[in-house]
Amino acid sequence: MNKEIYRVTDKENTLRLDKVLTIFNKKNSRVYYSNLIKNGEVLVNGNKVSPSYKVRENDEISINYVEKEADMDLKPLELALDVVYEDNDVLVINKPKGLVVHPGGGHYDDTLVNALIYNEKELSNINGLNRVGIVHRIDKDTSGLLLICKNNFAHKEIASQLETHSMHREYIALVDGIITSDSGKIIGKIGRSKENRLKMAIDNINGKEAITHFEVLKRYKKYTLIKCRLETGRTHQIRVHMSSINHPLVGDKIYGGSTSLYNEGQLLHAYSLTFSQPSTKKEVNVQIDLPQYFIDVLNKLEN
């Protein structure tokens, strides 16, 4: 670790601290400095401040440069965010189908996290620097609502709601076959598949508790449109559970879904999110309509 000290001149007066640091040292990105600031490695006149602090002429800025991790200098992705709700603690994004939530698995510069960085959002960093703001996630080919935390206080509050199942997430899915009952509850522990490490599977011995509630919205000739509510939030939970009762999601090649009607990933959309606002504790409910790609498929079934 090495330390540098800068003094603000009239040229930098009133600029954001994280922006000023990129002027002083262009070798590192704005997000790198933002995370240094959040971790207390940057002091202004001996005090901790936020990345959005507006510097003043003659401010003394001291920087402790920590060794850069591979995920610390993420590239911004120029992508407009569809923000459907925002306050001082959180924002809710309508994630488009095809967008990966955070870097990893061959996606490092084209994820939602990269887009959040481009849009200069203040983000929590509890889950590490390549998952800033991320407290839960939805799959690449699942569209819909995703809650992002702006600060670590909000992150802890939302994580607690997820753990106690007081945060409600509802999805709409199109599945293969006709579900005869109007509603149901699927209970089956989920763990990593022993045959294919890219898949999850029902594992009632070593898996984690998983509960999914579903309700039939409409029946078609060969398919059923359902609404699902997650009581728990395991990886691929809806996809695994529906496949386990022989009604896999349409388009879900990994879990046995048919592809004759749609072959571009599972037809699954996160349409409703209910949570307690971290600071005010007031209930917030956000809902969005089905995206056009999903509507187009349903229109085919109506003809």
**Which region holds residue 278: left if phi is over 0, alpha if psi is between -120 and 50, else beta?**
alpha
Task: Please answer whether residues 119 and 78 qualify as being in contact, where contact means their C-beta atoms are separated by less than 8 angstroms.
Answer: no
Strand 268-276 relative to strand 183-187, pairing: unpaired
Unique residue bearing structure tokens 């401040």: 49
Choose, from 18, 59, 89, 139, the residue flagged as catalytic. 139
Which amino acid, one-letter code, is at 252?
A: D
CA distances from 168 to 162, 233, 284 (A): 8, 10, 10
Residue 139 bears catalytic tag: yes
Write a three-state SS string for the chain: CEEEEEECCCCCCCCEHHHHHHHHCCCCCHHHHHHHHHCCCEEECCEECCCCCECCCCCEEEEEECCCCCCCCCCCCCCCCCEEEECCCEEEEEECCCCECCCECCECCCEHHHHHHHCCCCCCCCCCHHHCCECCCCCCCCEEEEEEECCHHHHHHHHHHHHCCCCEEEEEEEEECCCCCCEEEEECCEEECCCCCCCEEECCCCCECCEEEEEEEEECCCEEEEEEEECCCCCCHHHHHHHHCCCCECCCHHHCCCCCCCCCCCCEEEEEEEEECCCCCCEEEEECCCCHHHHHHHHHHHC
The two structure tokens encoding residue 25? 């040292």
Catalytically annotated residues: 139
